[in-house]
Amino acid sequence: MGRKSLGSALLTMGALLSSTSSSVNAEGGGLRRKRSSSSHQYKSSRQSHQQQQHQRASSEQQDQQQRHLPGGSNNSNRNLAAEETSTTAAAAANTEEDLADPRRFFLPPSHQELDDIDMRQLILEMNLDSSMSIITEQPTRAPTNRPTVSPTYSTMSPSTSSAPTLTDCDNPGTCENRLRQQIYDVSVRVGTVETLDDPNSAQSKASEWILEECGAFPPIDPCTESQIILNEQRYALAVMYFSLSGEGWNDGSNPSVDKGAGEGVWLSGLNYCDWGVQITGDKGDYVTLVCDEFGNVLNLNLQSNNMVGQIPPEIGVLVYLTSYISFFNAQSGPIPTSLGLITPLQTFDVESNNMDGSLFQPQYSGPDGLTEVVNFRASLNNFRGNIPTEIGRWTKLQNLWFADNEITGTIPSEVGNLVDMSESVLLL
């Protein structure tokens, strides 16, 4: 509050004092006057200190003249008594009204001169409300959870985030991120994480292919727990297709990677259990890809299928596989160590290929390796190494064929544990 405004407020309060009585109490460190009537109004005109003195002198002169009039003293006494009676009644009425009206204004008492007011205190209290607003002594309301103002809405478009959420699994961005995480987890499991950074690798091609299925109708389901293992198997089969030159296969080839291809074609948009095709030959009929009732891959029979390349480590993702047959092809490289992850595997037949490396690796033939193997056939390749003593753990083994390789060393005595070998032929 400026100095002129403060002077006007003080003069206004002084003028109000000359026209009404007041009941004064001291609360909160300052003088407060309870408002006695709503009819009181502040005078807007400014009166100087000299004008106030002139009014007081005129009032005193009138009183003296009245005393000299006949009966003046009695009239004065009667008037004073009536005034006191009226004042007492008004004070009582004002008291009742004041109790109902909690509003209070800062005013000095009638007997206190303006010059005697504690200006510092008055200014301090007036600064709490420069417009002389009403002071309430009602208790503070309890906090509320609702906003005190209406919310505002931004006109800017919301920013998008590539981070996956746990609830919005129909969102393509969420689908892709979840699938990427699943692919990464698979790659960690089989040891092919570095291949994901190579755009020419079978893993990158398979990753790109399966991510496109987030936009299919219906899209691939990356959220349901039971579907995750199926997504992993779908990805593993795609890696096998790209790694073994699927575009040149005799059966199941899909050179243009047409999602609309029908049954018997790999990498179509159909369930991968429909990728298999029935083959009729001189030695009997077989189906190239067989699933169980839950959609898990059980058998892969890709014999004489013009497969060129290496068996990828992702074969270890097919953890329900019981049979892998791929003889008479042009597969190369070693047997993936991830083969040891396929605990139910019974038949592994890669005869007549161009494979090399150690034939018996500890990951699948060691102490923690496979135990359900019945047929292990690897003749006519370029394998090397010796026969480990752990071969005695393959107690269900019936056929162990590895002729025309570079196997060295002696036959361990643990082979004697293979009692079912009596009906098989061991070719060295």
Give the model confidence (pLDDT) of 188-210 as tens digits: 999 999 999 999 999 999 999 99
**Pair 380, 403: CB distance under 8 Å:** yes
Task: Tell me what percent of the chain is helix, strand and coil, each rounded to the nearest 5.
Answer: 40, 15, 45
Residue 279 binned pLDDT confidence (cut-offs 50, 70, 90) = very high
How many of the other CB atoms lie within 10 Å of CB of 312?
25
Block residue for tokens 């109000």: 16
Is the confidence at residue 233, as pLDDT, over 50?
yes
Give Cβ neighbours of residue 409 (< 8 Å, ≥ 6 apart).
385, 386, 387
> How far apart, in whole angstroms, are the C-alpha atoms of residue 313 and residue 90?
103
**Pair 96, 122: CB distance under 8 Å:** no
Q: What is the pLDDT of residues 298-345, one digit of tens each?
A: 999 999 999 999 999 999 999 999 999 999 999 999 999 999 999 999
The pair of structure tokens assigned to 363 is 């990951």
> How far apart, in whole angstroms, are the C-alpha atoms of residue 216 and residue 227?
16
Mean pLDDT of 165-186: 80
Residue 373 binned pLDDT confidence (cut-offs 50, 70, 90) = very high
Enumerate the β-bridge partners of residue 105.
33
Give Cβ neighbours of residue 380 (< 8 Å, ≥ 6 apart).
351, 352, 353, 403, 404, 405
> Does a cis peptide bond (omega within 30 degrees of 0) precede residue 199?
no
Inter-axis angle of helices 72-100 and 49-68, nearest 10: 130
Closest CA to 370 of 420, 311, 412, 322: 322
Residue 84 binned pLDDT confidence (cut-offs 50, 70, 90) = low
Residue type, position 13, single letter: M
Can you give the pTM of this predicted structure? Answer: 0.62
- Residue 377: phi and psi, rounded to 5, are -125, 125
Percent of residues, the chain, with pLDDT higher than 90: 51
**Pair 238, 209: CB distance under 8 Å:** yes
Residue 136 binned pLDDT confidence (cut-offs 50, 70, 90) = very low
